[in-house]
Chain A
Amino acid sequence: MIMRAPASDLPLLFEGVAVVAGAVTILDDLSLTIGAGAPTVLIGPNGSGKTTLLRAAMGLIPPTSGRVTWGGREHALPDRSAIMFQRPVMLRRSAAGNVRYALAVAGVPRLERRTRANELIATVGLKGLERRPARRLSGGEQQRLSLARALARDPAVLFLDEPTASLDPAATKAIEDLVRAISGRGVKVVMSTHDLGQARRLAGEVVLLHRGRLVEAAPAADFFAHPRTEEGRRFIAGELLV
């Protein structure tokens, strides 16, 4: 099981980060501090830059300008960050094979991999499906397997991009329970969602993005009770932000 002290790779700091692709500004002069603690939930309409923010944090997209730092370190991307994509890609291996692969990449000795993989698969509630080809699993099972694969890296920070988009309520609950458990063990969770109810259920801190700009970042209780911005108020009221 994963048990760690508050992550030393935090705070994760965005300083004036912009990501521009061609003529499109995806993230616009965004500054944000993500510290240890309960999950940070990114909300905002489609195309608001949530996914790009997660990718930039993970180091998968270099910022066009500005910088991203981890615990004050300029370039040191932590090995122990992991991301679960909105549509995770399953390797053409068994469920356990997928997790063992992630363990191998993370440098876990061969002899420990089988046991660890089975533990992780049990953690995400897929016990019994170890030998099933990963690509034959259902959408919800694939999301959970992807989570097991991310946890195989023993991350201090775990990024989740719309982890429950297109899942039914039961599968959504399973993922949310896991996120809570993972967060409870001291792993910093940063996730995006456009499900406001999910943000209410999971967030310690809310970050509202709109058109690539940071609109509002606040503790979840404050945000939902007294949004400081007009966009925040409208988003909570369920109006369409376009």
Chain B
Amino acid sequence: MTGDASALQLVLNGDPALYAIVKLSLLMSLSALLFATLIAVPCGAFLALVRFHGREAVIVILNAMMGVPPVVIGLAIFLLLSHSGPLGAWGLLFTPQAMVIAQTVMVTPIIAALARQTIEDLWMEYREELAAMSVGPSRRIITLIWDARFSLVTALLAGFGRAASEVGAIIIVGGNIEGFTRTMTTAIALETSKGDLPLAIGLGMILISIVILINALAWGARRLGERYAG
């Protein structure tokens, strides 16, 4: 009970350390979402439209990648970025950039797989009309992404959800360094194990609020879009 009260105080008083953590978390998850979207949506559209040898295998692997444990992705990025690793010269290990890379790698398959499904469904619907209008391949892809944009929001939300809630990968590649790579989820993990429950609970409440808020915004945008575009 007292734990709850002091957690609420921390949130309401705008504890600067707490808000720095919140800011870093958001910045990181949104950056990862942005990069992942830029990679995943065109890839999803490509997979939806282009028939090539081994396409089915790629789709199965992509779907499977959605379920890869974050710690495994964290480990892989850690090995890549560590001093003796192939990208060690970049010096990114234990930086926010490393965490963005890990989250991007984690989120890209989710968005790509969901976008592939969404765009392929729309393609089945549009296919003949677009063929009859002799729409070329590149315009086809742009048309489908544009017309599916409100449905794609769901894919982006799923991606954001995973980025915002994940802890295993970023704690490995970020190192949970106070004031530098400490995020909401890594802080919750740490504070809980240290027994500082008020901070952990406060962060947990903020994290849940943010996720709800972003979902509400996306929902509203989607409804608005549907009213306008059908």
Contact = CB atoms under 8 A, between A and B. Distances in A.
A92 B143 CA distance: 10
Contacts of B229: 92-94, 97, 133
Grouping DSSP codes into helix (H, G, I), strand (E, B) and loop, the A interface class, with mixed when no group exceeds half, is mixed
Interface string A78-106: 01001101001111111001000110011
A85 B128 contact: yes
A105 B135 contact: yes
Interface residues of A, number: 24
A83 B147 CA distance: 22
Interface string B18-59: 000000000000000000000000000000000000000000
A90 B133 contact: no
B230 A105 contact: no
B230 A60 contact: no
B132 interface: yes
Contacts of B139: 105
Contacts of A134: 230
B125 interface: yes
B134 interface: yes
A92 B147 contact: yes
Given A133-B229, A134-B230, A135-B230, A153 B129 contact: no
A58 interface: yes
Contacts of A83: 132
B227 interface: yes
Contacts of B134: 79, 105
A4 interface: no
Interface in B173-200: none
A136 B150 CA distance: 16
Contacts of A102: 133
A101 B126 CA distance: 13
Interface string A47-72: 00000000000101000000000000
A88 B125 CA distance: 10
Given A105-B134, A105-B135, A89 B230 contact: no
Nearest to A136: B230
Contact of A89 (B129, B135, B226): B129
A60 B125 CA distance: 15
A79 to B, nearest CB: 7
Given A92-B147, A105-B139, A133 B132 contact: no
Contacts of B147: 91-93
Contacts of A82: 132-133
Given A105-B134, A105-B139, A85 B129 contact: yes
B216 interface: no
Contacts of B132: 58, 60, 82-83, 85
A105 B133 CA distance: 7
Nearest to B125: A89
A140 B128 CA distance: 20
A89 B228 contact: no
A133 B147 CA distance: 12
Interface string B107-136: 000000000000000000110110111110
Nearest to A89: B129
A99 to B, nearest CB: 12
Interface in B188-230: 226-230
A18 B135 CA distance: 26
A83 B227 CA distance: 28
Nearest to B151: A92
Contacts of A92: 147-148, 150, 229-230
Given A92-B230, A94-B229, A153 B133 contact: yes
26 contacts: A58-B132, A60-B131, A60-B132, A82-B133, A83-B132, A85-B128, A89-B126, A90-B230, A91-B143, A92-B147, A93-B147, A93-B229, A94-B229, A94-B230, A97-B229, A101-B143, A102-B133, A105-B133, A105-B135, A133-B227, A133-B228, A133-B229, A134-B230, A135-B230, A136-B230, A153-B133
Interface of A: 58, 60, 79, 82-83, 85, 88-94, 97, 101-102, 105-106, 133-136, 149, 153
